[in-house]
Amino acid sequence: MSQKRNTAPIEARRRIALTVAGSDSGGGAGIQTDLRTFAALGVHGTSVITALTAQNTRGVGAIHLVPRAFVRAQFEATFDDFAVGGAKVGMVATPALAREIARGLTPRHRLPVVLDPVLVATTGARLARDDLAEALLRHLFPIARLVTPNLPEAERLLRRRIRSDRDMLAAANALRDAGAHAVLLKGGHLAGPQVRDLLVAPGVERWFPNPRLPGAFHGTGCTLSAAIAAHLACGDDLEAAACAAIAFVHRALAAGYRPGRGRLRVLDTLAARPAERRRRD
């Protein structure tokens, strides 16, 4: 028996974002922190899970990849029902999954996609095959509105060292030459009292300095890319979305805490909610 499609109007006030990423059983990164970030910014979160990780604040014990057919089914279920306004892609793990994700997102050519090219966990565990960098460049860079690598990820993508602000600018432009529409290069791995992130986009070259906070943090890149996707889903332009997301992450870092026995701190995204959002809640 055929089912009738629900034609009830979608509630226009609640924007919708999508995270395509791995699950972190410790709750500090991946799907878990992405959905918390969406909620903190007042956006309804949907998800396509690419991998399951047995993970905590001390390391990654095991990784189980989701079969491509099931990744495809998640995309179909999401886009069949939800008017997604922004998306982020995190843990991809293999070239085959990169191709499947591109297959799921390419038909939505107007959807702003933020690609966080996750290659290594904060604990040092490898979350991707050696040949993933090439697959990201080939399959996912062309469909991304913004790519948000940290310095080690940019070094692997470009096969070059990055040791200064000048190197960062050259690397960001090289990533654009490699196919990225825009790049937000995260400078946290450079030494110094400030963390300087760099946005390079058509007509834009902007540095975002913030005081370096003490401690080792888990899930920073996930939170940042999810926050940018949420702001894009709400209609912000790229520079405004990046600016708001970086400020959000800095507040979440300042309120961070240690939930486990490991040294890593996780970001408190609820404490980082914008003031107007806190008043509304």
- Cα distances (Å, whole numbers) of residue 74 to 18, 32, 67, 70, 80: 11, 17, 11, 6, 10
- Measured CA to CA, the distance from residue 33 to residue 233 in angstroms comes to 17
Residue 118 scores a pLDDT above 50: yes
Q: Could you write out the DSSP letters of every residue in 142-202?
A: GG-SEE--BHHHHHHHHTS---SHHHHHHHHHHHHHTT-S-EEEB-TTS-SSEEEEEEEET
pLDDT class of 126 with cuts at 50, 70, 90: low
Of 74, 88, 73, give the one whose Cα is nearest residue 35: 88
Does residue 130 lie in a domain region?
yes
Does residue 8 lie in a domain region?
no
Residue 194 structural domain: 16-272
Mean pLDDT of the 242-250 span: 97
What's the total number of domains in the chain? 1
Mean pLDDT of the 258-277 span: 90
pLDDT at residue 64, as a whole number: 95
| Proportion of the chain above pLDDT 90, given as a percent | 84
Does residue 9 lie in a domain region?
no
Question: Which CATH number fits the domain that encloses residue 61?
Answer: 3.40.1190.20
Does residue 77 lie in a domain region?
yes
Q: Which of 8-12, 18-22, 64-68, 176-180 has the lowest mean pLDDT?
A: 8-12
pLDDT at residue 3, as a whole number: 46
172-212: pLDDT as tens digits: 999 999 999 999 999 999 989 999 999 999 999 999 999 99
Residue 24 scores a pLDDT above 90: yes
Residue identified by tokens 């910014």 is 41
Does residue 207 lie in a domain region?
yes
Of 86, 97, 71, 94, give the one whose Cα is nearest residue 225: 86
Tokens of 112: 């702003």
Residue identified by tokens 């040791």 is 163
Mean pLDDT of the 247-262 span: 96
| CA 200 distance to own-chain centroid | 17
Of 184, 179, 167, 172, give the one whose Cα is nearest residue 136: 179
Residue identified by tokens 């994700």 is 101
Does residue 137 lie in a domain region?
yes
Contact predicate 114/126, CB 8 Å: no
128-154: pLDDT as tens digits: 566 899 999 999 999 999 999 999 999
| Proportion of the chain above pLDDT 70, given as a percent | 89
Tokens of 161: 């060292």
Residue 125 scores a pLDDT above 80: no
Does residue 193 lie in a domain region?
yes
The type of residue at 248 is F
Does residue 11 lie in a domain region?
no
Tokens of 95: 């070239």
